[in-house]
Structure 1
Amino acid sequence: MIGGPHLSALYSVVWFMILEGKSYRLKFPWVGVVNRSQANINKNFDMIAARRREREYFSTTPEYRHLAHRMGYEHLAKMLLKHLETVIKSRIPGIQSLINKTIAELETELSRLGKPIAADAGLCTIMEICCLFYQNFREHLDGVRTGGDKVYNVFDNQLPAALKSSLLKLMEADGYQPHLIAPEQGYCHLIESTLVTIRGPAEAAVDATHSILKDLVHKAMSETPELKQYPALRVEVGNAAIESLERMRDQSKKATLQLVDMECCYLTVEFFRKLPQDVDKGGSATQSIFDRYNDSYLRRIGSTVLSYVNMVCATLRHSIPKSIVYCQVREAKRSLLDFFYTELGKLEQKRLSALLNEDPTIMERRSALAKRLEL
């Protein structure tokens, strides 16, 4: 803004630009104003009178008479207001879009944090949250969510490989000395000592399934926002679920090992009856025991034992998974939190309320988001 005393300087600049052949298109038209002198400011000169004198100056000065209608502070104020209005209008869609986006983000986060718990909340609220967790856990087992299919890997790969390893150990064994034990007792001894080794793979399959179920519990807990909201309840539900799985594991291990022990304590006689009956190659009593039990006879014993163990392994390969599914997977789907529900019913209201003590960080965050939404 250049007043009357500085017009000569303005003219000098303009004429210099003309002589240099330079011209610049102004983004906004220029407006001349008359500044108040320091003396007028010190005397608190009336602004209305100052504006009136400004209008008189531009209307009476020959250089500005033809521009008087767009000179002065009043015209400058109108121009600035109009420009400001244009800028605001041009940015309203973007501002509105940003506001809507921010509102949507705040509402999404509020929804994720969950609603604040009611003052009189108790057993029903806890049961509802537990049901949400339980539903997520069951969806993992049913295949709706990922992770449950790992149980099949135990049955299809881990258990068969372990059983095969037991058979390899049998084939590499030194065998028994037939001159020190009766053949029938030798068969029983070899078969029983071999079948006992299947206890290891059976226990390993139970433990592997237990580990998978524990992982699914942790996944289901992390996928239940309501449990994140209440740390005390999250700990109690997690501990109760793991304890329940451990009881199921112990029961499953007991039932599975019983399957193996049954095969050890009672051999299938029909299997031996169907074997081809060879003529006794033992020879007379005067023959040496080394001549009486030759290599062919010993190989026949080894082949018979191996065939019987193969038959038992084929049976256990199907019965062990059935036992595990029945005792662990099925029970986990049916009664994972049953014991916890029973214990909840015994708790007093004060203890139930303590389980629903919300995380202070979540409470503060929810309050801050609510205030921003109000704004």
Structure 2
Amino acid sequence: ALRHSLQDRLSKSSSGKNRDEIYLKLRTSTAPPLKLIDLPGLDQRIMDESMISDYAERNDAILLVIVPAAQAPEIASSRALRLAKEYDGEGTRTIGIISKIDQAASEQKALAAVQALLLNQGPPKTADIPWVALIGQSVSIASAQSGSENSLETAWRAEFETLKSILTGAPQSKLGRIALVDALAQQIRKRMKVRLPNLLSGLQGKSQIVQDELVRLGEQMVQSAEGTRAIALELCREFEDRFLQHITTGEGSGWKIVASFEGNFPNRIKQLPIDRHFDINNVKRIVLEADGYQPYLISPEKGLRSLIKGVLELAKEPARLCVDEVHRVLIDIVSAAANATPGLGRYPPFKR
């Protein structure tokens, strides 16, 4: 019924070309939406260049180059093929169709050219295009005029058998409308694979824009103390993650902490006069001064305590400088982590 409706509508058109589109919607959950544009008579210059470019230059359009079998020997000069190569130089969205095989069944030259195309042995400009052979449209439609539900499938099988008997040396996978459907499906899958990364990237970009806008506008206001605590805890978790990221990975100023403990602090310790402090003469002097009038054997710990205290006094300044350095670095890291936590920007008291 659908086919008959389209045939009746198209038969009423008196002009060879019409910019008024016939919209046919076929909805299914297993296939993308498709639009079929028929541009007949390219080789007869019926269609102007502007109308062709309106449809052919679209990157998601699949181009069907339909050439009658009788014209297969001169395929290299076909205007349809030239336009297809102009808009799709790599042949990634073009399918070649050789029609009316039955009408050229007695022309050996034409059949030889058709088989060469189907075997990818045609002219160089046709090598990167998949080719499919069909019989005349009127014959195929006439075969499907019966009222049987499977009339279309029967016609397709009959077409395949006819083509197989005419093109005996051609690949059977390139014969008939079933082969055309397979070729179309492969090209559609290829185009979807090519566009999928761009689509995903676009969706991710739009998602990020929406998230940024939500952050800018602010989240839903809470009306209870529990809600406020929940927001505060969530912000604390976000801040802690950012803070630990700086500390553990050395991101931002995190590397300066390691540099203070492993670089500056050991260097300052090495510069201390430890050797002079533990010189034998200096040790004797400190022990005698610590013992005073008491014999050393009675209270030896005073001398040792005095030696250790002196070393600790020497190390106090390098340790203080290290603490000051790490403190300044931690302040910078806290500030960087706070700035990297988007939620804190909406709650200035938390950020302070």
The two structures have a TM-score, normalised by structure 1, of 0.32
Structure with higher strand content = 2
Greater radius of gyration (CA): 1
TM-score by length of 2: 0.33
Compare the two structures and name the one with the higher helix fraction. Answer: 1
